[in-house]
Amino acid sequence: MTSERRWFVTGAGSGLGAAIARAALEAGDLVTASVRGPAATAALPDSDRLRIVELDVTDEAGATAVVAEAGRIDVLVNAAGNGIFGAIEELGDAEVRGQFEVNVFGLLNVTRAALPAMRERCAGRIVNVGSAAGIAGEPGVGAYCAAKFAVAGITESLNRELAGFGIEAMVVEPSGFRTNFLSDADAVLADSPLDEYEGTPAGATRAWAAGGHGTQVGDPDRGAAVIYAAAVAEEMPEHLPLGADAVAALEGKLESLRRDLGPWRERSLATAFPE
pTM here is: 0.92
What is the pLDDT at residue 36?
87
Question: Whole-angstrom Cα distance, residue 178 to residue 215?
Answer: 7
Kindly tell me the sign of the dihedral angle through the C-alpha atoms of 265, 246, 27, 109.
positive
Average pLDDT (146-174) is 98
Please state, in angstroms and rounded to a whole number, the distance separating the CA atoms of residues 214 and 234: 35
Residue 215 has pLDDT above 70, yes or no: no
Q: Which of 77, 166, 152 is nearest to 118 (CA)?
A: 166
* pLDDT level of residue 3 (50, 70, 90 thresholds): low
Q: What does the chain look like in DSSP terms, one character per residue?
A: --SS-EEEESSTTSHHHHHHHHHHHHTT-EEEEEESSTTTTTTS---TTEEEEE--TT-HHHHHHHHHHH---SEEEE------BB-GGG--HHHHHHHHIIIIIIHHHHHHHHHHHHHHHT-EEEEEE--GGGTS--TTBHHHHHHHHHHHHHHHHHHHHHGGGTEEEEEEEE--BSSSTTSSHHHHB-SS--GGGTTSHHHHHHHHHHH-TT---B-HHHHHHHHHHHHHSSS--SEEEESHHHHHHHHHHHHHHHHHHGGGHHHHHTTSPP-
Could you tell me which residue, 208 or 128, shows the higher pLDDT?
128
Please give the pLDDT value at position 64. 98
- How confident is the model at residue 175, as a pLDDT? 87
Q: Identify the CATH assignment for 6-245 out of 3.30.460.10, 3.40.50.720, 3.40.50.300, 3.30.390.50.
A: 3.40.50.720
Please list, in sequence order, all residues whose beta carbon lies within 8 angstroms of the beta carbon of residue 123, skipping any fewer than 6 positions away.
2, 74, 166, 167
Dihedral through CA 191, CA 135, CA 176, CA 173, nearest 10? -120
pLDDT digits (tens, 9 = 90+) for 37-50: 776 787 899 999 99
pLDDT tens, residue by residue, 170-214: 999 998 777 767 655 545 888 899 999 999 999 888 887 776 666
Could you confirm whether 144 is annotated as catalytic? yes
Mean pLDDT computed over 60-77 = 98
Q: In what order do the strands lie in the sheet with 50-54?
A: 50-54, 30-35, 6-9, 75-78, 124-129, 167-174, 239-242
Say how far apart CA 15 and CA 31 lie, in whole Å: 16
Task: Parse the chain into domains and list their residue ranges.
Answer: 6-245
Say which range, 44-48, 165-169, 218-222, has the weakest mean pLDDT: 218-222
Q: Which of 7, 85, 144, 228 is catalytic?
A: 144
pLDDT at 42: 74
